[in-house]
């Protein structure tokens, strides 16, 4: 979960910095700004916001985090991260035409 959160916020921050988008004031704002720019499908935004909202409790309340069961997002995250990655790749290809060294996975 933690790595998924960091992936989404780090990628979003790089997009914001790289394309000189407005400054983000929170993790949720990072998702909103990169979503508004078209980096991923609009329908994905609520799930990503729900995910990044888990960062504070996961990091600050690590020892009291409920470990007896999987968080409901755990089952959705792998496929959503694959879609997020493909979407960001497509966004970069649209925004940076002619860049031949973009990594395609």
Closest CA to 13 of 36, 32, 37, 30: 30
Instruction: Indicate which residue of 22, 55, 86, 94 is catalytic.
Output: 55
Q: Is 103 a catalytic residue?
A: no
37 by DSSP, 3-state: which? coil
The 10 Å CB-count burial string (b at 16+, else e) for 5-26 is beebbebbeebbeeeebeebee
Active site residues: 55
């Amino acid at each position: 979960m933690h790595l998924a959160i960091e992936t989404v916020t780090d990628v979003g921050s790089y997009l914001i910095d790289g394309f000189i988008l407005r400054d983000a004031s929170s993790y949720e704002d990072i998702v909103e700004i990169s979503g508004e720019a078209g980096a991923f499908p609009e329908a994905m935004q609520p799930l990503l916001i729900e995910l990044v909202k888990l960062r504070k409790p996961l990091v600050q309340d690590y020892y009291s985090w409920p470990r007896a069961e999987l968080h409901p997002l755990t089952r959705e995250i792998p496929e959503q991260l694959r879609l997020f990655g493909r979407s960001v790749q497509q966004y970069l290809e649209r925004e940076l035409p002619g860049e031949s060294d973009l990594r395609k996975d």
